[in-house]
């Protein structure tokens, strides 16, 4: 019986356009011939019908889409029923004019000032900055940055004496009040690069209510940023709160009555609370978009637009990511004024030099599991094992437990409290193996991860870079092992740069 030539995806927010959903598919390397969105009877969500360019990829596409979350909603993908397809319009609909797509930004939403300046210490010519120099060794002592004694003390308690390259370049520019677009490799200290100057600026200018807003694409990243902020604001009288999907919204509304100075939030939950009239964000003086490219891939552009529409006066805007150069041109709704663009020598898809990568080819599942256990036996931990799907994450974790490995797991179907508990127990060493989907590849900051094992190949080279970036953090060295099935061969050539080949 021939395979149905289309799939359905349910649980899509009602405001999503076909162009945005196509961008989401592209971001997950799912190539479609046609996308059609149909609003459901309750009008709060809609269903997508997707005709794929390659029908042989259909099972994998369904598997990948069932891993995706939009605004904390987990998508539900399945084969399309023939009778359903028969009632749909035969001609593919076209994106509405003026809407931004991944490949064609909308001209009606211009940037205010294109990013022109590249900060690169070194000799200049005719009074202008050099185009780009190698900043891999550029470091600055924290006590030369004009920071307050309290903040310096908080930095020293964490064992930091000098900056990483992205911190040394970005912090002075942010302290001067510039809009900043920063790009650096994962694990290079981007969070501290925007968190530290934000805390310093807010401390220098006392006030009440929200003044610093940080928007992150995932709950895990929001939690990580909050931990960094909380360590910085000790003895500064500043307060921070994080809000994200997965926790009860009423509890978070009660928390917000404490009038935090700094709010860390995921886009969907932030706008949900804002729409209830319980909290205003327009008074924020500084706004950060962390992992801005990931927000594009996850389809958060409408929410980002709505967030910036809340401001009567333009805030200082900071954009940070590991892969951002081309993506910033697509964020037409972000109002940047004479931005400073900082690129600290992180070419696209270049892996960290401090991560030793090894590729192991296996012939079947039995050989794959055998090699996995060999790697686990050689390294005591901490170890993160990345798996393609939530279902396989559960199965692999259970197999490891049966073989007396101390393993736990993390993926999108686990509620937030259990996810945080699993990560905390992994940090404490009660488990030395963490099995997870790509939900753990960004926003999971754990010191001392000795080994990354890619049990399954990542969806994209960018995701591979973020996976291996969970080791070799803060200047340490690390190792990553990728197990390749025969079916990975066709896709592997796209990953060669990410492997340093």
DSSP 8-state assignment for residue 17: -
Distance CA(69)–CA(190), nearest Å, equals 24
pLDDT of residue 185: 67
Prior bond of 306 cis (ω within 30°): no
pLDDT of residue 402: 92
Distance CA(65)–CA(76), nearest Å, equals 7
- Residue 275, burial from CB neighbour count under 10 angstroms (0-12, 13-18, 19+): exposed
pLDDT of residue 101: 31
Which residues of the chain are modeled with pLDDT < 50?
Answer: 1-3, 92-136, 325, 346-348
Distance CA(151)–CA(436), nearest Å, equals 35
Distance CA(100)–CA(330), nearest Å, equals 8
pLDDT of residue 234: 92
Starting at the edge strand found earlier in the chain, the sheet holding 212-215 runs 117-118, 340-343, 180-183, 316-321, 286-290, 212-215, 262-265, 240-243
pLDDT of residue 351: 54
Cα distance between the two ends of the chain: 42
Locate all alpha helices (DSSP H) within 118-209, ordered by sequence. Answer: 149-157, 165-175, 190-204
pLDDT of residue 345: 53
Token code pair at residue 100: 């931004």
DSSP 8-state assignment for residue 314: P
pLDDT of residue 194: 94
Distance CA(276)–CA(85), nearest Å, equals 38
pLDDT of residue 286: 94
């Amino acid at each position: 019986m021939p395979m149905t030539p289309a799939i359905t995806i349910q649980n899509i927010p009602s405001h999503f356009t076909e162009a945005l959903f196509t961008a989401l598919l592209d971001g997950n390397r799912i190539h479609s011939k046609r996308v059609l969105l149909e609003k459901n009877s309750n009008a709060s969500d809609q269903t997508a019908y997707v005709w794929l360019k390659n029908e042989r990829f259909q099972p994998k596409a369904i598997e990948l889409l069932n891993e995706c979350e939009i605004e904390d909603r987990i998508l539900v993908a399945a084969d399309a029923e023939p009778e359903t397809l028969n009632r749909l319009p035969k001609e593919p609909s076209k994106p509405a004019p003026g809407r931004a797509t991944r490949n064609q930004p909308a001209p009606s939403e211009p940037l205010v000032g294109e990013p022109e300046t590249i900060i690169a210490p070194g000799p200049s010519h005719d009074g202008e900055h050099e185009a780009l120099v190698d900043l891999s060794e550029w470091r600055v002592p924290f006590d030369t940055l004009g920071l307050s004694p309290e903040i310096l003390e908080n930095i020293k308690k964490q064992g930091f004496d000098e900056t990483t390259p992205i911190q040394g370049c970005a912090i002075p520019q942010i302290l001067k009040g510039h809009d900043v677009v920063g790009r650096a490799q994962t694990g290079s200290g981007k969070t501290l690069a925007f968190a530290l100057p934000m805390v310093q600026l807010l401390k220098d200018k006392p006030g009440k209510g929200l003044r610093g807003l940080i928007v992150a694409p995932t709950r895990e990243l929001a939690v990580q940023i909050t931990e960094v902020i909380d360590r910085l604001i000790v003895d500064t009288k500043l307060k921070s709160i994080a809000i994200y999907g997965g926790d009860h919204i009423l509890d978070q509304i009660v928390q917000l009555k404490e009038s935090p100075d700094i709010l860390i939030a995921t886009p969907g939950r932030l706008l949900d609370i804002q729409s209830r009239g319980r909290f205003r964000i327009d008074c924020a003086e500084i706004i950060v978009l962390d992992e801005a490219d990931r927000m594009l891939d996850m389809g958060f552009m409408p929410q980002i637009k709505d967030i910036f529409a809340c401001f009567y006066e333009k805030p200082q805007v900071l954009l940070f990511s590991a892969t951002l150069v081309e993506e910033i041109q697509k964020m037409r709704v972000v109002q940047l004024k004479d931005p400073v663009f900082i690129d600290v020598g992180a070419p696209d898809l270049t892996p960290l030099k401090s991560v030793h990568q090894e590729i192991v080819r296996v012939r079947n599942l039995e050989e794959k599991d055998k090699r996995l256990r060999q790697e686990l036996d050689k390294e005591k931990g901490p170890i993160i094992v990345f798996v393609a799907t939530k279902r396989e994450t559960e199965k692999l974790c259970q197999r490891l437990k049966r073989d007396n490995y101390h393993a736990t797991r993390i993926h999108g179907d686990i509620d937030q409290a259990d996810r945080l508990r699993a990560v905390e127990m992994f940090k404490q060493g009660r488990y030395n193996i963490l099995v997870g989907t790509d939900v753990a590849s960004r926003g999971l900051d754990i010191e001392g991860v000795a080994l990354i094992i890619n049990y399954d190949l990542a969806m994209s080279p960018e995701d591979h870079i973020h996976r291996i970036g969970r080791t070799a953090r803060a200047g340490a060295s690390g190792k990553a092992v990728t197990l390749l099935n025969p079916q990975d061969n066709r896709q592997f050539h796209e990953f060669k740069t990410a492997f340093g080949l």
